Structure 1
Amino acid sequence: MATNGHKRKLTVRLCGPRGFCAGVDRAIQIVVLALKKYGAPVYVRHEIVHNRYVVEGLQERGAIFIEELNEIPDTHRDRPVVFSAHGVPKSVPADAENRNLFYLDATCPLVSKVHKQAMRHQRLGRHVLLVGHAGHPEVIGTMGQLPEGTVSLIETVEDAERFSPPEGMELGYVTQTTLSVEDTADIIRALEKRLPTLRAPSAESICYATTNRQEAVKEAAPGADLFLVVGAPNSSNSRRLVEVAERAGARRALLVQRASEIPWAEIGEIAVLGLSAGASAPEIIVDEIIDAFAERYDVTVDLAITAEERENFPVMRPLRDVELTKSDMAFVNGVS
């Protein structure tokens, strides 16, 4: 990292867009605003977004994270519960209503759009194919919008080639919002080749933020000695960015949650570092990683910007009268 007392030069190709998307920003806002309006504790079903820094920051403010509604004590049934940005099956709000719980649904509007597309297919008499990853909260939520037996999960091209459609039924598909654009296109091509009457959703399912972040990584990855993606291991969109970086020409790509996870001893000699962040990763960690490299290298930052994002998803009406402090806004925006 240094020669003769001098730091080696390192070019950091910093991707843009990166980090928080509008859906993540809205979900975090909802929890912070609920804490301001109703006080602590506010319960959150599942991680509001897949990022440890965000979750721990909300816990410090008074959020309590649970996996199921039955974890809320009877003495706290008057407390708000927030559903995560990934979406939930229809059974979850129904359960909340049966328990007389006050809930706030922070499902990303683009995930809600996929729910509506899937329900429209089913309403028109089509068996629904969901392209996505088994066990992901978004997939569980989308499948949970439909009656049992009316939706089939397709994870791979091999699944598409093996799928046996229900006899006499029309078919329609939707996709998880955080998939690899290229992998998804391959799966859909395989489905359409076998099932020429397969109906597409009325609008693109993969969200703008996923597409934009992948395009920026493709721009920055060629020739990079190392590509780091800031994100959690359970973040689908972050893991896809690692795959995209490797396919686009990065010599090596890694997923890290904090600068402390960078394997300095294994990096070797590098001259070009690619850097991006998944849609649930705050900008403060990107800064932390750049600072960590600047301690060891003579760093120059080059921007790889492929799009400008201006999307903004408003929070629900009951929270719109709450004002946030500068400190709250910095946290919501991922910069503190």
Structure 2
Amino acid sequence: MSPPKKPLKVLLASPRGFCAGVDRAIQIVERAIERYGRPVYVRHEIVHNRYVVENLEAKGAIFVDELDEVPDDRPVVFSAHGVPKAVPAEAGRRNLLYVDATCPLVSKVHREAERHHVSGRTVVLIGHAGHPEVVGTMGQLPAGAVLLVEDVAQAEVLEVPDPDNLAYATQTTLSVDDTIGIVAALHRRFPAIHGPKMEDICYATANRQAAVKAIAPKCDALVVIGAPNSSNSMRLVEVAANCGCCKSRLVQRAADMDWGWLAGASRLGITAGASAPETLVDELVTACREHYDVTVEEVRTMEESVVFKLPRALVA
């Protein structure tokens, strides 16, 4: 007879998982496959989640790094992270049929950057170097028109051509708390700097961070379901640690869980990044039940009702 399972209280953060921009991007790929047939090419991962990518591959999507891998006679979808202007320009030059799945909140940042550039301002972009969203945003303007700042230390030594003609924008998936510090440093050094009317960090990123803050102090350990290249997921791990749950980590799915790491914990927090489907949360809770006597409590800090429209070309 097997020994009784140890009790484990699971605190589920809510909101968690898919945001409206991710849901829209996935629907765009699925609708494109329905409309144009297989295969439909997608430049870069549509969102940063292997489970989502593999599901779409099974339906007929082919993911590529660059446009030169796309045949002239097949449609291509641009990822939710946004692309530099040179990408749709090249697609147009080749007469490729393309659908832009850029999240509307990222497109808003693009428009802000363009508006500031037209007004003669240098744009300071707060974000992570090399992230597709940052590459896409910087690629909206000519080389040198955007200066990237990743942390407070860089903000403190930033050199700008004209302190009186300056604006800032941010990547949408940053830590809210970290960004506040960077913005404060920029305002102190450059009092005339222009900022967005509403913060660029997306509602879903902020809401998921707030939900983690609500449960982290009550947890012995906290797991974020998401991909290591997902900025918003990695920020959730950091938020949990900063809010008192030092034992926090990223897990892509239940099969990757290190149960030895969980030893000694009686209260486990679970959340999911904005590009991770709820299926993977259910999968992890089920796996927990195989090892523990689990009770689940959902801690909801906010209701979300945001929905983004699909491109007209895929709706008619």
- Counterpart pick for 1:231 among 217, 223, 226: 226
Q: Which residue does the alignment assign to 1:59?
A: 57
1:279 to 274, 293, 304: 274
User: Match for residue 27 of structure 2?
Assistant: 29
What CA distance in whole angstroms lies between the structure 2 residues aligned with 1:208 and 1:38? 33
Q: C-alpha displacement at 1:99, in angstroms?
A: 1.0
Structure 1 residue 284, shift from structure 2 partner: 0.4
| Alpha-carbon spacing, 1:66–1:4, altered in 2? closer, same or farther (3 Å) | closer
Alpha-carbon deviations, 1:191-219, whole Å to 9, x = none?
11111111111321000000000000000
Q: Distance in 2 between matches of 1:169 and 1:193?
A: 13
Deviation at 1:277, TM superposition (A): 0.2
Which one of the candidate residues 71, 74, 80 is aligned to 2:75?
80
SS in 2 for 1:12: strand
- Counterpart check, 1:320 vs 2:315: yes
Separation in 2 of the partners of 1:10 and 1:61?
Answer: 38
Q: In the aligned structure 2, how far is the partner of 1:93 from the partner of 1:169?
A: 33
Match of 1:17 in 2: 15
Corresponding letter in the other structure for 1:101: L
Equivalent residue in structure 2 for 1:217, among 208, 212, 220:
212
Identity of paired residues, percent? 59
Q: C-alpha root-mean-square deviation of aligned residues, in Å?
A: 1.2
Deviation at 1:150, TM superposition (A): 1.0
Amino acid at match of 2:177: E
Partners of 2:134 and 2:75 lie apart in 1 by 25
Q: Which runs of 5+ in 1 are unaligned?
A: 322-336
CA distance in 2, matches of 1:255, 1:222: 18
Q: Is the 8 A contact 1:117 1:202 kept in 2?
A: no
Q: Is the 8 A contact 2:225 2:273 kept in 1?
A: yes
Per-residue Cα deviation, 1:84-124 (whole angstroms, up to 9, x for no partner): 00000000000001111000000000000010111111111
Give 1:223 shift: 3.0
- Report the counterpart of residue 96 of structure 2 in structure 1: 101
Q: Is the 8 A contact 2:164 2:193 kept in 1?
A: no
DSSP 3-state at the match of 2:147? strand
**What is the SS of the residue equivalent to 2:84?**
coil
Question: 2 CA distance for matches of 1:163 and 1:117?
Answer: 21
Per-residue CA deviation, residues 3-46 of structure 1 (Å, 9 max, x unaligned), is: 97111111111011000000000000000000011100000000
Normalized against structure 1, the TM-score is what?
0.92
Paired position in structure 1 for 2:239: 244
For the Cα contact (< 8 Å) 1:229–1:255, is it kept in 2? yes
Moved over 3 A (4+): none
Which runs of 5 or more residues in structure 2 are unaligned?
none
Q: How many residues align?
A: 316
Which residue in 1 is equivalent to 2:170?
175
- The residue number in structure 2 matching 1:332 is none
Deviations 1:62-91 (A, max 9, x none): 100001000123xxx121100000000000
